[in-house]
């Protein structure tokens, strides 16, 4: 694997850089630079998606026939790096990076024809219905029922920790359509219109005060059987396929490198001369570089038509734990200015329920540091906890 950029790749980098320079407004840059959640501001993220879609770059990893770019591994990585460097807000992964790959891999032609172009344009905005109050990491124990009645399923149950369910118009759900000898059997992957009668969304307010997460209650919700992706009862297979893309379908290293650069720039005078803190930064830089090499190898496999496989677990573990480390170092650099709660300093991914303006609060980066620290505590839990990922690696890679 040659890690030096070719002349053609450098030309592509300049093209991407020029696009970001002309298409990113100050408001869009701020939404990316100062975001305090995994997700950018919903309206600004959709605005940016529309601009990317007009350029043909909203879903570069999709097959070309569905609107993808046909880029090489190097081009994907360059794009990710330039996006992070420019401060562009990320797009919601729920549709483009998660549900869409599941549809491309397992959906019917009718499902692909209807949902993919609308997902690409942002007309359909997805949320994910996996976790339940007693079924998180042990997802196979889920209980939301889907009882068949003719050409419909009648759905009853609850989903929790559902990101952006308050603004989504569709949800991809795992439901129990039958009870079998193993909990993984009898689960179906179902697409549900969030405007259906019988759906109630209630907010969950995070430690940072943002309303991004929700719980959803389904009461006799009628869903066409035609909305099942893959086979009825075969949803566990579809979900595992999707989770590979959620855990490792994108690279962490480009954004981590930018986070490291921003941290160095935000350090107060003299802090970079402190041997102990400098050693922590050096260790982080080495670990990020090692992750970058691993991700390039994994993306090479993806470019050959493969799925992320167990590399997804490695990337998820390492990427989220390094993000947590970066927020810890940022909080250390913030010093006394990182002690307050100042959500107005950032650009949250949802409404803030209890804003608290403060004067003389210190540098903006220092004010945002505790908000990102709290948010990143969830990184090692979502998309399958890192403990679960290590179990997957032990079984799949070591055969234990």
Residue 19 pLDDT level (bands cut at 50, 70, 90): very high
Q: Note whether 384 and 273 are same-domain residues.
A: yes
State the alpha helices, DSSP H only, in the chain: 7-23, 26-33, 42-55, 73-86, 93, 100-106, 109-121, 235-248, 253-266, 275-303, 311-334, 364-376, 386-398
The mean pLDDT of 269-288, rounded to a whole number, is 96
Query: Residue 172: beta bridge partners?
Result: 128, 191
Split at pLDDT 50, 70, 90, the class of 354 is: low
pLDDT band with cut points at 50, 70 and 90 for residue 2: low
Q: Does some domain include residue 271? A: yes
Q: Give me the residue label for tokens 């949250």.
A: 348
Query: Across-strand partners of 153?
Result: 148, 223
Could you tell me if residue 103 is inside a domain? Answer: no
Same domain as 299, residue 262: yes
- State the first-to-last Cα distance of the chain, in angstroms, to the nearest integer: 31
Structural domain boundaries, residue 164: 126-234
| Claim to verify: residue 387 and residue 282 sit in the same structural domain | yes
> Is residue 246 a part of any domain in this protein?
no
pLDDT digit string (tens) for 119-136?
999 999 999 999 999 887
17 vs 385 pLDDT, higher one: 17
Average pLDDT of every residue of the chain? 90
Asked if pLDDT for residue 304 goes beyond 70, the answer is: no
Residue 333: inside a domain: yes
| Strands 228-229 and 170-176, bridge-based pairing | unpaired
Could you tell me if 57 and 155 lie in one domain? no
The dihedrals phi and psi of 353, each to the nearest 5 degrees, come to: -80, -30
* 62 Cβ contact list (under 8 Å, min separation 6): 68, 96, 100, 101, 104, 116, 120
* CA–CA distance, 257 with 85 (Å, rounded to integer): 9
Tokens of 130: 């996996």
User: Which of 91, 107, 136 finishes a domain?
Assistant: 91
Residues 6+ apart with CB under 8 A from 265: none
The token pair that represents 157 in the structure block: 């149950």
Position 156 pLDDT exceeds 60 = yes
Query: In terms of domains, do 305 and 222 share one?
Result: no
Judge whether 270 lies within some domain.
yes
Helix axes 42-55, 109-121, angle to 10 degrees: 110
Q: What is the pLDDT of residue 193?
A: 98
What are the beta bridge partners of residue 223?
Answer: 153
Task: Give the mean model confidence (pLDDT) for residues 250-263.
Answer: 90
How much of the chain, in percent, has pLDDT values that exceed 70?
A: 93
Residues 315, 264 within the same domain:
yes
DSSP-assigned states of every residue in 122-180: TSS-EEEE--BTTBSSSGGG---EEEEETTEEEEEEEE-S-TTTTT-SEEEEEEE----
Distance CA 146, CA 221 (A): 9
**pLDDT score of 20 more than 80:** yes
Q: What is the mean pLDDT of residues 190-214?
A: 92
- pLDDT band at residue 39 using 50, 70 and 90 as cut-offs: confident
Q: Is residue 386 part of a domain?
A: yes
Phi-psi region of 399 (alpha: psi -120 to 50; beta: other; left: phi over 0): left
Beta-sheet pairing, 126-129 with 170-176 = parallel
Domain boundary among 234, 267, 288: 234
Task: List the catalytic residues.
Answer: 246
Q: Please count the structural domains in the chain.
A: 3
Q: Specify the pLDDT at position 62.
A: 93
Span 296-308, mean pLDDT? 68
Same domain, 224 and 318: no
| 3-state DSSP assignment of residue 244 | helix
pLDDT of 243: 72
CATH number at residue 132: 2.40.110.10
Tokens coding 271: 């802090």
CA distance readout (Å), 164 to 137, 210, 302, 339, 379: 20, 11, 29, 28, 17
Residue 106 pLDDT more than 90?
yes
The pLDDT of residue 250 is 66
Tell me, yes or no, whether 107 lies in a domain.
no
User: How much is the pLDDT for 355?
Assistant: 58
């Amino acid at each position: 694997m040659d890690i030096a950029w070719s002349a053609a790749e450098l030309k592509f980098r300049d093209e991407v850089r020029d696009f970001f320079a002309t298409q990113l407004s100050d408001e869009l840059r701020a939404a990316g630079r100062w975001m305090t959640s995994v997700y950018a501001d919903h309206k600004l993220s959709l605005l940016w998606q529309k601009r990317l879609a007009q350029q043909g770059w909203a879903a570069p990893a999709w097959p070309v026939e569905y609107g993808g770019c046909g880029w090489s591994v190097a081009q994907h990585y360059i794009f990710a790096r330039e996006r992070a460097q420019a401060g562009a807000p990320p797009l919601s992964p729920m549709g483009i990076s998660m549900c869409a790959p599941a549809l491309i891999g397992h959906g019917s032609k009718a499902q692909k024809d209807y949902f993919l172009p609308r997902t690409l344009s942002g007309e359909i905005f997805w949320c994910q219905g996996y976790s339940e109050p007693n079924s998180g990491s042990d997802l196979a124990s889920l209980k939301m029922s889907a009882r068949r009645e003719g050409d419909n399923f009648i759905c009853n149950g609850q989903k929790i920790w559902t990101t952006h369910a308050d603004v989504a118009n569709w949800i991809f759900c795992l439901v129990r359509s039958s009870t079998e000898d193993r909990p993984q059997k009898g689960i179906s992957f179902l697409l549900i219109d969030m405007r259906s009668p019988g759906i109630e969304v209630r907010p969950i307010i995070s430690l940072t005060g943002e309303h991004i997460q929700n719980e959803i209650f389904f009461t006799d919700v009628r869903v066409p059987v035609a909305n099942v992706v893959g086979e009825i009862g075969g949803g566990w297979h579809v979900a595992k396929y999707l989770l590979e893309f959620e855990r490792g379908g994108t690279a962490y290293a480009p954004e981590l490198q930018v986070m490291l650069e921003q941290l160095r720039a935000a350090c107060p005078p003299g802090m970079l001369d402190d041997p102990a803190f400098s050693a922590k930064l050096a260790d982080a830089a080495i670990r990020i570089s090692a992750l970058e090499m691993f991700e390039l190898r994994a993306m090479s496999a993806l470019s050959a038509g493969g799925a992320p496989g167990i590399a997804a677990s490695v990337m998820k573990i390492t990427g989220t734990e390094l993000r947590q480390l970066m927020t810890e170092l940022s909080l250390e650099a913030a010093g006394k200015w990182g002690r307050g709660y100042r959500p107005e300093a950032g650009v949250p991914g949802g409404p803030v329920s209890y804003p608290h303006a403060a004067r003389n609060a210190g540098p903006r980066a220092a004010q945002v540091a505790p908000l990102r620290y709290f948010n990143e505590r969830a990184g090692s839990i979502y998309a399958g906890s890192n403990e679960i990922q290590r179990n997957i690696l032990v079984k799949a890679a070591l055969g234990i």
